[in-house]
Amino acid sequence: MENSKSGGALNSRLRCGEEVRLFSSMKRSIRAMVGVQVKHVEFLREGRQISGFEDTLVITANKWKAAQQAYAQHVREHGC
Ligand SMILES: [Zn+2]
Protein backbone atom coordinates (compact mmCIF):
# COMPACT_ATOMS: atom_id res chain seq x y z
CA MET A 1 0.00 0.00 0.00
CA GLU A 2 2.72 2.50 0.91
CA ASN A 3 4.41 1.91 -2.45
CA SER A 4 1.38 2.57 -4.61
CA LYS A 5 2.44 6.10 -5.62
CA SER A 6 6.23 5.72 -5.80
CA GLY A 7 6.70 3.61 -8.93
CA GLY A 8 9.21 6.05 -10.43
CA ALA A 9 11.38 6.16 -7.32
CA LEU A 10 11.25 2.38 -6.97
CA ASN A 11 12.28 1.89 -10.57
CA SER A 12 15.48 3.85 -10.00
CA ARG A 13 16.55 1.10 -7.58
CA LEU A 14 16.38 -1.49 -10.34
CA ARG A 15 19.25 -1.69 -12.78
CA CYS A 16 18.26 -0.02 -15.98
CA GLY A 17 18.81 -2.16 -19.08
CA GLU A 18 20.75 0.55 -20.87
CA GLU A 19 22.99 1.04 -17.83
CA VAL A 20 23.75 -2.70 -17.74
CA ARG A 21 24.50 -2.69 -21.46
CA LEU A 22 26.79 0.37 -21.29
CA PHE A 23 28.55 -1.00 -18.22
CA SER A 24 29.34 -4.31 -19.88
CA SER A 25 30.53 -2.56 -23.03
CA MET A 26 32.79 -0.44 -20.80
CA LYS A 27 34.16 -3.59 -19.15
CA ARG A 28 34.74 -5.19 -22.54
CA SER A 29 36.66 -2.14 -23.76
CA ILE A 30 38.89 -2.14 -20.64
CA ARG A 31 39.62 -5.82 -21.18
CA ALA A 32 40.51 -5.20 -24.83
CA MET A 33 42.87 -2.38 -23.88
CA VAL A 34 44.54 -4.41 -21.11
CA GLY A 35 44.82 -7.37 -23.48
CA VAL A 36 46.78 -5.25 -25.97
CA GLN A 37 49.16 -4.10 -23.22
CA VAL A 38 49.65 -7.62 -21.85
CA LYS A 39 50.46 -8.89 -25.32
CA HIS A 40 52.93 -6.06 -25.82
CA VAL A 41 54.73 -6.92 -22.55
CA GLU A 42 54.90 -10.59 -23.60
CA PHE A 43 56.40 -9.64 -26.94
CA LEU A 44 58.94 -7.33 -25.28
CA ARG A 45 59.94 -10.12 -22.91
CA GLU A 46 60.56 -12.39 -25.87
CA GLY A 47 62.55 -9.62 -27.58
CA ARG A 48 60.04 -9.36 -30.42
CA GLN A 49 58.80 -6.24 -32.14
CA ILE A 50 55.18 -5.51 -32.81
CA SER A 51 54.39 -3.27 -35.70
CA GLY A 52 51.36 -1.08 -35.27
CA PHE A 53 51.20 -1.63 -31.52
CA GLU A 54 50.79 2.04 -30.70
CA ASP A 55 47.99 2.45 -33.22
CA THR A 56 46.17 -0.51 -31.71
CA LEU A 57 46.64 0.87 -28.22
CA VAL A 58 45.32 4.30 -29.24
CA ILE A 59 42.28 2.69 -30.89
CA THR A 60 41.44 0.54 -27.84
CA ALA A 61 42.12 3.48 -25.48
CA ASN A 62 39.75 5.69 -27.50
CA LYS A 63 37.07 2.99 -27.41
CA TRP A 64 37.45 2.72 -23.65
CA LYS A 65 37.22 6.50 -23.28
CA ALA A 66 34.09 6.64 -25.46
CA ALA A 67 32.46 3.77 -23.55
CA GLN A 68 33.31 5.42 -20.24
CA GLN A 69 31.83 8.75 -21.36
CA ALA A 70 28.68 7.10 -22.71
CA TYR A 71 28.19 5.29 -19.41
CA ALA A 72 28.85 8.40 -17.28
CA GLN A 73 26.53 10.49 -19.44
CA HIS A 74 23.72 7.95 -19.24
CA VAL A 75 23.98 7.69 -15.45
CA ARG A 76 24.07 11.49 -15.13
CA GLU A 77 21.02 12.01 -17.35
CA HIS A 78 19.07 9.04 -16.07
CA GLY A 79 20.08 9.00 -12.43
CA CYS A 80 20.20 5.22 -12.55
ZN1 LIG B 1 19.35 4.29 -17.10
Task: Show the 3-state SS of 26-80.
Answer: HHHHHHHHHHHHHHHHHHHHCCCCCCCHHHHHHHHHHHHHHHHHHHHHHHHHHCC
Asked whether residue 59 is domain-assigned, the answer is yes
Share of the chain above pLDDT 90, in %: 69
Q: How many domains does the chain have?
A: 1
63 CA distance to ligand 1 centroid (A)?
A: 21
Domain extent at residue 45: 16-78
Q: Ligand 1 center to residue 54 CA distance, Å?
A: 34
Does 7 map to a domain? Answer: no
Task: Determine, yes or no, domain membership for 42.
Answer: yes
pLDDT value at position 13? 60
Residue 6 lies in a domain: no
Cα torsion 5, 2, 78, 15: sign: negative
Query: Is residue 56 assigned to a domain?
Result: yes
Mean pLDDT of 22-26: 96
